[in-house]
Each structure stands twice: as C-alpha cells, then as structure tokens.
Amino acid sequence: MVAMDKSSRRKLEKISSRKVVDIPAGRKSVVLGVTGSIAAYKSAELASLLVKQGHEVFAVMTHDATEFIAPLTLQTLSKNPVMTSFFDEKESWRPGHIELADRANLLLIAPATAHIIAELAHGLAGHPLAAIALTTRAPILMAPAMNGKMWGHPATQENVQKLKAHGVEFIGPEEGMLACGYEGLGRLWKVDEIAFRAEFLLTRHDKLIA
Ligand SMILES: Cc1cc2nc3c(=O)[nH]c(=O)nc-3n(C[C@H](O)[C@H](O)[C@H](O)COP(=O)(O)O)c2cc1C
C-alpha cells in the first residue's frame, strides 16, 4: 500500500465527504398551455399529474382549445383560474399574462397545434398563451399533436427548427393511429412521459454537488 502524505489524505477526505444532495425543490409554477387539438382532453391528465408531482399549475387555453375541453375541467384539476383571453384580466392593475410569464418555472404547451408552433416561430402575441411564450424566460417544452402531413410539411418543420434554435424543447410527436383516421407521425407523446420530462426541467437546477 502506498503511504499518503497528510495533505493528500486531507484532500481525499474532503472529496469523499461531498455528496449529491437534493435541495428541496419546493413548489414550482407550471404554465400549461393547451391548444385546439383533438388531443386537448389529455391535458386534463397532464394537469392532474403535475399537481400530484407537487407543482402549481396555471392552465392557459387558446380560444379553439375551449372547443375541445372545458376550462372548468382544467380549473378544477389545477385548482387555479384558467386564462382564455386577455380580457379575463380585470382583477389586477398588472396584466395577468405578464405575471404568469414571470412566475413560470416552466411553460409546457401540450398539445401544441401546427398553428401555435407557427405563431411562436414568428413571435406573434395575439392571445395570452402566445404572449406568455414571448415574455417568459422559463424553459419552454412543446408536445406537438397533429395530422402527420401537417407535422411533415416543410413549413412546420422550419418553424420547429426555428424554435429549437431559440432554445425551445420538443417532446414527440409519436407514430401511431391518428384521430384524423390516418396512421403516421403526429400523436401526442405519452402524457406520463411528458410529465416526467417536465419534472426534469423543473428540478435540474436543484440537484447540486454540495
Ligand atoms: C376536430 C378537429 C381536430 C383538430 N386537431 C388538430 C390537431 O390535432 N392538431 C392541429 O395542429 N390542429 C388540429 N385542428 C385544427 C386546429 O384546431 C386549428 O388549426 C386551430 O386554428 C388551432 O388554433 P390554436 O392553435 O389557437 O388552438 C383540429 C381541428 C378540428 C376541427
């Protein structure tokens, strides 16, 4: 056995006493954007999973999303008011969409239509969800769901690449039977795996080497 001098031993003791610690993540705020896809009903399960994971969930729906799932469902599951219009914001002097954008630790858009992908790629801000995406500095995770031809169209793919270059992360879509009757790449990614990825993005800064 090689004899160790005092200072090397001290250095080794110092390193071996370090450990990976989980700093309690606390309650994080997730803005859950829901858009007008047939998969919008799955956002209810997602809201529920995120709440069970201990997070505060604020659903923001596009006008068309409300044709697919009632705001009341998301309001009940998230235990928070649901924003569907700029003109919901009458309670405070401070615009609610800016408050949500600043408060968000993650903006998760699931399902994300071809339309919202195009809007965000072009920096449009015509409704609260698009405005929040433009304002927030939190990570953005998008889970697309659409017809396979829409997803494969060069316009959509260019928009996705543009958003990725801005740091937006995409999860899915996956291949399978689509609601439109076609089979292809366009199904919303599995909801529990979206929640898992969201959890990773929310807590990655809490895992530090102490
Ligand atoms: C029954 C039905 C299902 C739809 N499903 C999708 C879909 O899965 N993905 C998509 O991109 N658009 C879908 N659309 C079209 C969108 O609703 C439409 O592009 C809408 O303008 C999207 O608006 P939003 O992104 O503001 O919610 C569907 C439309 C209908 C009528």
What pLDDT sits at residue 25? 52
Question: Burial level of 24, CB count in 10 A (0-12/13-18/19+)?
Answer: exposed
Q: Of all protein residues, whose CA lies closest to atom 18 belonging to ligand 1? A: 36
Q: Is 35 in the pocket of ligand 1 (CB under 6 A)?
A: yes
Per-residue pLDDT tens over the stretch 120-172: 999 999 999 999 999 999 999 999 999 999 999 999 999 999 999 999 999 99
Residue nearest to atom 29 of ligand 1 (CA): 37
What residue ranges define each of the domains in the chain, with the CATH number in brackets? Answer: 52-209 (3.40.50.1950)
Catalytic residue list contains 76 = no
| Ligand 1 pocket test target in 32, 34, 35, 37 with most atoms within 8 Å of CB | 37
> Between the CA of residue 208 and those of 25, 53, 83, what are the distances in Å?
11, 20, 35
Beta carbon of 64 within 6 Å of any ligand 1 atom: yes
Q: Which of 86-95, 115-124, 163-172 has the weakest average pLDDT?
A: 86-95
Q: Which of 38, 180, 185, 203 is catalytic?
A: 180
The CA distance from 14 to 37, in Å, is 54
